[in-house]
Structure 1
Amino acid sequence: MAEYQTINSVGAGTRSAQIDVGLRAHMNKVYGLMSVGMLLTGAAAWAISGLATTTDPSLATVQMGNGTMLTSLGQTLYLSPLKWVVMFAPLAMVFAFSAMINRLSTGAAQLFFYAYAALMGLSISSIFLVYTGASIAQTFVITSIAFAGLSLYGYTTKKNLSGMGTFLMMGLIGLIVAMVVNIFLASSALAFAISTIGVLIFAGLTAYDTQSIKNEYIAHAQHGDSEWLGKSAIMGALRLYLDFINMFMFLLSIFGNRE
């Protein structure tokens, strides 16, 4: 009997060690995919803003209030009705991605995620027209530090954060409604409140999503479904990517120095 218990104990310990190793590899993949997505977003935003602006008056089609001269591409992207398509396209694409993920192969899902990240870069490229490069870089560093700390907390804490999920999602829905309303109101006070609440919501979601990704892996790792694990890493990367991007954008709207 004692020998049987010892064998069980050793077996359980081995399985636990295997899950720990697999979990670290899974989380590294999640963070790796997210990082590539961030690089694509940054590169796309920088490249598009460069093509959309000019310092040559002969190439400019319109000049903005802060003196920035736009090319025909910039005028189309930022001043024409197409700007609404550019603004909301990432939201539509992320809903489509979530609906299609089960029908996509792991490779196709990864390409879809990268395409989404590039589209997000197009959508937020106007930040280079509005804010100084120094404040964008500074806000990115602040966001990175905050994200790392919050994600580490979500990964290591023994506290169950699942109760936060419903509360945060309700807050997110309310935030989206307020943002749509403020498109028409253009209230600076409401914009500041939205940004402040947005930072808090996505800070909470960073910790919550990290723990959720970890728990989902532990729950499914024993089945050894490589297809599921691959897609899970991509969806996890998307969740954390969105947490980071939104926290960055809200912090930038609060602390960014305008051109």
Structure 2
Amino acid sequence: MTYGNQPQGGYPGNQQPADPRQQYAYGNQGASYGSSPYGATPQGQYAQPQYAQPQYQNAYGQSQFAYAPNGTAAMNAQTAYSYEQIRQAERTSIARAYGEMTVGLIITAVVALIAQTSGMYIRFIESTGFIGVMLLAIVQIGLAVYLSARIMSIKAGTARAMFYIYAALMGFTLSYIFAYYELGTIGIALGLCAAFFLILTMLALTTKFDMLKFGPVFMVGLIVLIISQIVISFLPGSTGMMRVICAVGLVLFAGMTMYDAQMTKRLFATYEAQGPEMIKKISIICALNLYLDFVNMFLYLLQLFGDRD
């Protein structure tokens, strides 16, 4: 396609299309994509058929904008259909992320039950002591950091395996709660957390309020929360203060749940054109973030309302 040797009308023999809306897929006569470096041009000079081809594709190779040679009615119908295809692909991608999160939670629960009933965690702590606890923490943090930093360069299968390993290690670590809390209390806290998480997710995905602008606030709040918990844990008689910290933590992770839900939607919209492999990677990293939100809310609910055994 050239710009300098076009006939004056834009088509051979100055033949204009019967319907000027064929000039662009967007239906704007004489519209351009920017200021022409060649100065003013007659209307339709650059209206080559190439401009009317689909310009963008979603993650499933379907066109987002369709060419409508039969007029406005056909164009509107095809555009609406393409928009619905985009929304369907977006919903499918978000469901994939939440599905991966659910699998991670199931792995965590199963490993925690096995570790508790078999006494594996107790024997591990007895044999390794504080070093074993710190080793588990370091490995889990390392996995999460590496997965977040290298998600774009590793394969989707590798990312999924790392996430499942992380979930299993988390389950092994959390098996201690069965020694501290009654089983009924754990079940109630889990049910409350699941309902709370679902409501927050639906609210985040349907509201027009932008939670993404609060990202820096949540990060600062998380750092302050971690430092506060460490300091208070060394203070005698700090049960009341710890309950306050748990309440603050619950509110903080409720906000982060809404933030991560909207971030999941944003990431899929950004990377959906890069193919199914990228969608799988994004679903894993989003699942990790949502998984951490769920686990932390569950633990704070358990500490606030749980009856210790």
TM-score (norm 2): 0.72
Q: Identity across aligned pairs (percent)?
A: 30
Contact 2:147 2:285 in 1 (8 A): no
Q: Deviations over 1:67-121 (max 9, x none)?
A: xxx96345236x5432233345422321122122222100010011000000110
Please tell me whether residue 42 in structure 1 is matched to residue 109 in structure 2: yes
Match of 2:176, as an amino acid? S
Matches within 5 A, 1:196-211: 196-211=247-262
Tell me the residue number matched to 1:188.
239
Pick the aligned partner of 1:31 from 98, 103, 109: 98
Pick the aligned partner of 2:166 from 116, 132, 136: 116
CA distance in 2, matches of 1:161, 1:105: 30
Match of 1:202, as an amino acid? F
Pick the aligned partner of 2:301 from 244, 251, 254: 251
CA distance in 1, matches of 2:122, 2:257: 38
Q: Decide which structure has the larger Cα Rg and report it.
A: 2
Match of 2:257, as an amino acid? T
Matches within 5 A, 1:1-259: 3-4=21-22, 5=27, 6=72, 8-52=75-119, 72-73=123-124, 75-76=126-127, 79-185=129-235, 187-221=238-272, 223-259=273-309
CA distance in 2, matches of 1:88, 1:179: 18
Q: In the superposition, relative to structure 1, how do residues 71 and 109 fare at CA in structure 2: closer, same or farther (>3 Å)? A: closer
Q: Which ranges of structure 2 fall in alignment gaps of 5 or more residues? A: 1-18, 28-71
Contact 1:19 1:218 in 2 (8 A): no
Kindly indicate which of the two structures has a greater share of residues assigned to helix.
1
Contact 1:161 1:211 in 2 (8 A): yes
Q: Deviations over 1:135-178 (max 9, x none)?
A: 00000000000000000111111121112222111111111111
CA distance in 2, matches of 1:218, 1:71: 45
Aligned residue pair count: 241
CA distance in 2, matches of 1:148, 1:212: 16
CA distance in 2, matches of 1:71, 1:148: 34
Q: Deviations over 1:191-244 (max 9, x none)?
A: 2122111100110111111111112212332x2422221110111111111100
CA distance in 1, matches of 2:258, 2:75: 34
